[in-house]
Amino acid sequence: MTTASRTRSRATWRNWAGTVAARPEREARPASVEELADTVRTAAAEGLRVKTVGTGHSFTAIAATDGVLIRPDLLTGIRRIDRQAMTVTVESGTPLKRLNAALAREGLSLTNMGDIMEQTVAGATSTGTHGTGRESGSIAAQITALELVTAAGEVLDCSAEENPEVFAAARIGLGALGVVSAITFAVEPMFLLHAREEPMPFDRVAEEFDALHAENEHFEFYWFPHTSRCTTKRNNRSQGPVDPPGRISGWIEDELLSNGLFQVVSTAGRAVPAAVPAIARISSRALSARTYTDIPYKVFTSPRRVRFVEMEYAVPRASAMAALRELRAMVDRSPLRVSFPVEVRTAPADDITLSTASGRDTAYIAVHMYKGTPYRGYFTEVERIMTAYEGRPHWGKLHTRDAAYLAGAYPRFAEFTAVRDRLDPDRLFGNDYLRRVLGD
């Protein structure tokens, strides 16, 4: 029996945004599924709880523990590619950026993805990370099978055919059902996306939202609070040729303006809140219209170097613009000063038990505040609006909902908790966050 490397230390772990800190009893770095199972069994025998942490991009305390913190950085790489089934099986600690690059070398791609690719595949899927899509859903919706280490230290293979009730829940399992050790994704031959980015007035976007969604495979937009301006992005498949952003113009848009200048203006807005509306008017005009064509991960994802905190709610797609108009009216009549744009994306209904798009066509409305800026007043008001529209909070982003609310928001909530009760009756994988959102 191999043994995972262990570090007995009370070193403090912090997430990317600095919103969560934890002091685990020890850390473990298993290098195989056998070592991972042994780590889980040992922790259970010692009465220590277990959590796995990826890159810490969740804003909630979903991965925090005072027991054993598993670091999956040795559980990386592709196990196998099945070109007949068009699937790829990957170790759970593999960063999405490494998976995307490896698939591209093989002439393959995921169908859809989020807007960053720093996270591990298990961390991203377990919290419901998503992009935007008319027919294609979250990253978890592209899972065809997964391998799960249970609280008993057993390795469970899950798919629509094998342990289907666990598979339905574990694709977005919140780390509550076990430790995901490998994931099999559906892939397809590499394709090209044509991106069209352009400014558009708020009223026009709101009025034409249904048409823009229907006419484009991937539509999203950002509204700049304190202004009437939006930036829209439409991504659609293309026959080519490849026409990426120019080296200089791409750097100006993606680094200088989206990160460098935005860092400066965000810092200025934090120091002088009264200046935020004027800064927003300048920022909303900084990004110009552009088009380009490239492989999917180079179009879907972009660097995000400015640190922030975030809340995101999933609402029925038919209610999205009503909710957004209420959000705008709230900001306009309040003393709030919001320097970050509001992001709106979509997803089709899926069949994952606790997916934010479970059973309904969905729109996502995400709000952000620059790190270090007071955010609770703004987020509280946004949450009040979104919950009035049957909103479901993103599992990895800030919110105050509890099991009583979520049991009403998710028709299959009891199905998930029943699977949890069976797989982890003693709550080996529990923590305070899961106690709040799932009950105990």
Query: Per-residue pLDDT tens for 172-186?
Result: 999 999 999 999 999
Pairing of strands 342-347, 218-223: antiparallel
One-letter amino acid at 246 equals G
> What share of the chain has pLDDT > 70, as a percent?
91
* Residue 257 confidence class, pLDDT cut points 50, 70, 90: very low
Query: Between 376-388 and 320-333, two packed helices, what is the crossing angle to 10 degrees?
Result: 150
- The count of other CB atoms within 10 Å of the CB of residue 40 is 27
CA distances from residue 316 to 135, 302, 323, 358, 386 in whole angstroms, order as listed: 15, 27, 10, 11, 10
* Residue 255 confidence class, pLDDT cut points 50, 70, 90: very low
Specify the pTM: 0.92
- SS3 category, 121: helix
Confirm if 209 and 202 have CB atoms less than 8 A apart. no
Beta-sheet strand order (sheet of 5-8)? 5-8, 26-29, 68-70, 50-52
Say if residue 10's pLDDT is above 80: no
Confirm if 416 and 174 have CB atoms less than 8 A apart. no
DSSP H or E run through 298: helix 296-300
> What share of the chain has pLDDT > 90, as a percent?
83
Give the model's pLDDT for residue 251: 44
Confirm if 330 and 385 have CB atoms less than 8 A apart. yes
Q: Which of 61-75, 235-249, 263-277 ranks highest by mean pLDDT?
A: 61-75
Confirm if 436 and 403 have CB atoms less than 8 A apart. yes
What average pLDDT score do residues 54-59 get? Answer: 94
Q: What digits encode the pLDDT tens for the residues 20-52?
A: 999 999 999 999 999 999 999 999 999 999 999
Report the distance separating Cα 332 and Cα 329, nearest Å.
5
* Residue 308 confidence class, pLDDT cut points 50, 70, 90: confident
CA-only gyration radius of the chain, Å: 21
- The count of other CB atoms within 10 Å of the CB of residue 161 is 9
Say if residue 61's pLDDT is above 50: yes
Report the distance separating Cα 67 and Cα 70, nearest Å.
10
Give the model's pLDDT for residue 256: 41
CA distances from residue 176 to 96, 356, 367, 408, 417 in whole angstroms, order as listed: 22, 16, 26, 19, 9
Say if residue 17's pLDDT is above 60: yes
Burial class of residue 322, CB neighbours in 10 A (0-12, 13-18, 19+):
middle
Q: Which of 102 and 306 is assigned the larger pLDDT?
A: 102
Report the distance separating Cα 27 and Cα 69, nearest Å.
5
Give the model's pLDDT for residue 371: 87
What average pLDDT score do residues 331-352 get? Answer: 95
Q: What digits encode the pLDDT tens for the residues 112-167?
A: 999 999 999 999 999 999 999 999 999 999 999 999 999 999 999 999 999 999 99
Q: What is the token pair recorded at 56?
A: 């810490």
